Chain A
Amino acid sequence: MVSDDREMVARFLRGDSEAVGTVDGWISRAAWPYQRRLADRWDDVLQDVRLEVTRLLGEGKFRGESSLRTYLWRVVSHTCLDQLRSQSKWKWADVEVLDGMEESEPRRGISSRQEDRDLLLRVLDRVPQDCQEMWRLIVAGLSYREMSLRMGVAEGTLRVRVLRCREKAVAARQDLLQDGPGDGRNNPVKNSPKRSGEANIK
């Protein structure tokens, strides 16, 4: 660690106004590109970043592998990206529908564990591009009527295509779980059998 950086950390943790001002200036500058996307949450996010930086420096997480300035820059980007994602995450509507009822099988919740995220990314990688695009619109909160108009397909056809894509994604997940992590990265998902009258998905 460069002695200047070590001294800066010590001064920042002591509450030295000059060091706090310098670090705060770096944080604001590093977070500037995210300002427009974060909109009215900007001040709250900046405060979260300051707390995170104080926590990391207080716990001695900065080991001097890069300069303090670069380290803080990365922490700010990382925190802002996480905040952006949390604000755009669409909440499942009416998930309490099954409250009080027995589910037919235990539901798998969203896991933040790294291996699970990696597995899901690999599953997504196996699903055809048009399926990804269709489901991205659903996750973004578009109704089937809006999607039907936008894609220029009949509503019924669209619903069947989306269902097919769902089946492909679930099948790809099963395949990967059987293969084990890291296998078959480039294997395209197999088509499941068609129901009568359904449109083909390329």
Chain B
Amino acid sequence: MNCNESIEFLPWFLNGTLEKGEHDEIRRHLATCEACRAALNQTREAWEIFDQHLPSQTLVALAYGETPQETDPALAERHLASCPECAAELELARMSRHLEKDNVAPFPVPRPRSGASSRSWRNLAAAAGLTTLVASAGWIYQIQQTAPYSAQVARAQTPPAATAPREDSGALQKKLGELAATLSQLQSRQEETEMRARKAETQVAELETRNEAPHASTLVILDSPVLVRAGEEPSAPKPEEVRRSSLSTTVLLQAAKDEQAPGPRKAEIVDAAGTKLRLPEVLPLEPESGYYTLSVPAGFLKPGRYTIRLLDPKSGGLRETYALQVK
């Protein structure tokens, strides 16, 4: 291996992903080549630069809507636009801040379906309007029934010269007219409310289509794992369709029910081309729920089909697979 080749391999020499032959060859070369050792130092220097992130104080200040003291705000803004890690961490800090309020539940309650929500709201509005209508109609009917009876009683008990019953009847007629006007107003308000509900429903549907509805993060539950037994070829799992999110995604992976040795797993995501995207963390099994939780940074999954493979962290053997179709 000459100097040019050796220098090109140095970044992967540092991240420890070279194959043993390549690794040993570079190691031997470095031991004898001063120029390549200088290049190794420059590679480390570059690593430091590319591994820079916003200080945590800056992220906390931004989460609280303050101007950061430690970092130039414009620089912080540009960095956030290009660094998915920092953007995801800022999102976590914002969620934490949100929980400072007592009335916020700390569990990610699934966002209600927009259709169901607006339908129930519309139903409530319609029910309130109908109740008012029925009550008003009953009231008017009662007044109509009472009016002739009152008049008869008045005629029977009052001398004919008296004018009071005629005046009462006139007042009742006037009141009846007022009530009819009120009823008409209520009916028009009901129509207006229904129209607003329909408009709101359309707007929510549009927002959902554009995936612009405000939410803390996307939650995907994959509960149909394919269990892989030793020596067997895994069958293809049925993909779960999810919409691409501009925010971080939490994927809950249900452990296989007939798995003999459930426990922590290493996860890897394989795209349609077969490229493995390795994830450094080991996923623990949450014993109460029986799920593994996988956090995927914002923008990590582009549209396409992915297979999530869970491996035994000790043996490296494949245990469960799941499929995901990002649209």
Chain A interfacial positions (CB closer than 8 Å to B): 29-34, 36-37, 39-40, 69-70, 73-74, 76-78, 80-82, 84-85, 87-90, 92-95, 97-98, 101, 103-105, 107-108, 110, 114, 117-118, 120-125, 127, 129, 131-132, 135-136, 138-144, 146, 149-150, 159-160, 162-163, 165-166, 169-170, 172-173, 182, 185
Contacts and interface: CB of A to CB of B under 8 A. Distances in A.
Contact of A135 (B46, B95, B271): B46
Given A39-B284, A81-B92, A146-B276, A135 B50 contact: yes
Interface string B45-64: 11111111111110110011
B151 interface: no
Contacts of A39: 281-284, 293
B40 A33 contact: no
Contact of B63 (A77, A89, A110): A77
A40 B8 contact: no
B257 to A, nearest CB: 22
What 5 pairs between A and B have smallest CB-CB spacing?
A: A93-B16, A143-B17, A135-B50, A81-B56, A33-B95
A163 B277 contact: no
Interface in B71-130: 71-72, 74-75, 78-79, 82-83, 85, 89, 92-93, 95-97, 99-100, 106
B278 A73 contact: no
Interface of B: 7-9, 11-18, 23, 27, 30-31, 34-35, 37-38, 40-57, 59-60, 63-64, 70-72, 74-75, 78-79, 82-83, 85, 89, 92-93, 95-97, 99-100, 106, 250, 264, 271, 273-278, 280-284, 293, 295
Contact of A142 (B83, B93, B278, B284): B278
A124 B100 contact: no
B92 A94 contact: no
A48 to B, nearest CB: 14
Contact of B17 (A40, A69, A141, A160): A141
Q: Which of B18, B49, B55, B283 has the most CB of A within 10 A?
A: B49
B56 to A, nearest CB: 4
A80 B92 CA distance: 10
B44 A81 contact: no
Given A74-B60, A185-B74, A150 B277 contact: yes
A72 to B, nearest CB: 9
B77 to A, nearest CB: 11
Decide if the interface of chain B is mainly helix, strand, loop or mixed.
helix
A171 B8 CA distance: 17
B48 A73 contact: no
Q: Which of B7, B40, B95, B100 has the most CB of A within 10 A?
A: B100
B142 to A, nearest CB: 56
B106 to A, nearest CB: 5
A140 B280 contact: yes
B271 A150 contact: yes
Contacts of B30: 97-98
A122 B75 contact: yes
B60 A104 contact: no
A146 B269 CA distance: 12
A94 B16 contact: yes
Given A122-B75, A150-B275, 20 more contacts: A33-B95, A77-B63, A77-B92, A93-B14, A98-B30, A108-B44, A118-B70, A121-B52, A121-B75, A124-B50, A124-B52, A136-B50, A141-B17, A160-B8, A163-B7, A166-B46, A169-B49, A169-B50, A170-B49, A173-B49
B52 A120 contact: yes
A141 B280 contact: yes
B274 A94 contact: no
A162 B11 contact: yes
A35 B38 CA distance: 42
A132 B95 contact: no
Contact of B16 (A74, A89, A141): A141
Nearest to A66: B64
Contact of A37 (B52, B79, B278, B295): B295
Given A81-B92, A163-B7, A94 B27 contact: yes
B56 A82 contact: yes
Contacts of B293: 36, 39
17 contacts: A30-B96, A32-B99, A37-B92, A39-B282, A90-B15, A90-B51, A104-B35, A105-B38, A118-B72, A121-B54, A124-B79, A125-B75, A127-B49, A149-B275, A150-B275, A160-B8, A169-B50
